[in-house]
């Protein structure tokens, strides 16, 4: 299973600092995007005799010198700290780049940690229930600067502007559309077929020009 869930307390501080760093950058975006890219931390394991899900990386055997992996059918000896990389598509219309390091080895499994760069093409967000049972899950911090009249990336929510009640959003349906600084914004749906997103965001700052947000994005790539 490819899965990572960061510790919330530490991550809250991280995303808020990240949001401050982008406070001067506002994006102008429509409801659909040709491409969205997420750079997310990840940890995963390969059991002995098995392949890393849908990849050409197999844990072959354990030795005193390290572990033997099969990569594209070729044997590679890997020790703690060594790199393991892979680029491919887990779902049509997506591409994932795994940049990992071996962090622990046993006779039963190899543990890896690093980053996953997930690119989703021809994004058409649709609000709906998510399928969170996919074995391929990535989760990590995101921060956005959304210009007035533009959409929060990967969602059907747009920023209308600053009001006395707070930052006004469009696309909330019957839900309350206003957010003060520190208030949460949660969106669930699909980016395209088989790619599900849950965005858990907080309002960092807003004015007449734009809205700044920070939080957690979780992606599921599956049926």
In tens, the pLDDT along 139-181 reads 999 999 999 999 999 999 999 999 999 999 999 988 999 999 9
Show the tokens assigned to 66.
Answer: 């390290």
Residue 2 lies in a domain: no
146 shares its domain with 89: no
CA distances from 117 to 6, 27, 138 (A): 16, 20, 10
158 shares its domain with 175: yes
Residue 1 lies in a domain: no
- Domain hosting 88: range is 41-119
Q: Show Cβ contacts of residue 33 under 8 Å, excluding neighbours closer than 6 positions.
A: 123, 153, 154
- pLDDT tens digits along 174-210: 899 999 999 999 999 999 999 999 999 999 999 999 9
pTM score of the predicted model: 0.85
Asked if the model's pLDDT at residue 16 lies above 80, the reply is: no
Whether residue 209 contacts residue 185, with contact meaning beta carbons closer than 8 Å, is answered with no
Number of structural domains in the chain: 2
Residue length, the chain?
223
Q: Show Cβ contacts of residue 9 under 8 Å, excluding neighbours closer than 6 positions.
A: none
92 shares its domain with 191: no
């Amino acid at each position: 299973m490819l899965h990572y869930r960061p510790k919330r307390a530490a991550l809250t501080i991280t995303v808020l600092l990240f949001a401050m760093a982008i406070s001067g950058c506002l994006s102008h975006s429509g409801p659909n995007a040709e491409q969205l890219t997420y750079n997310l931390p990840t940890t995963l394991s390969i059991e002995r005799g098995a392949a890393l899900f849908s990849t050409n990386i197999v844990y072959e055997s354990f030795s005193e010198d390290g572990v033997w992996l099969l990569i594209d059918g070729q044997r590679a000896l890997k020790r703690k700290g060594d790199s393991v990389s892979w680029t491919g598509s887990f779902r049509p219309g997506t591409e994932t780049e795994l940049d990992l390091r071996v962090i622990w080895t046993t006779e039963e499994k190899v543990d890896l940690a690093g980053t996953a760069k997930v690119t989703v093409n021809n994004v058409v967000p649709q609000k709906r229930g998510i399928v969170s049972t996919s074995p391929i899950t990535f989760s990590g911090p995101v921060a956005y600067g959304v210009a007035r009249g533009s959409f929060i990336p990967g969602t059907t929510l747009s920023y209308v502007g600053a009001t006395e009640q707070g930052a006004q959003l469009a696309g909330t349906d019957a839900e309350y559309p206003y957010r003060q600084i520190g208030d949460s914004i949660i969106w669930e749906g699909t980016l395209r077929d088989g790619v599900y997103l849950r965005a858990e965001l907080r309002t960092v700052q807003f004015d007449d020009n734009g809205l700044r947000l920070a939080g957690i994005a979780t992606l599921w790539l599956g049926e």
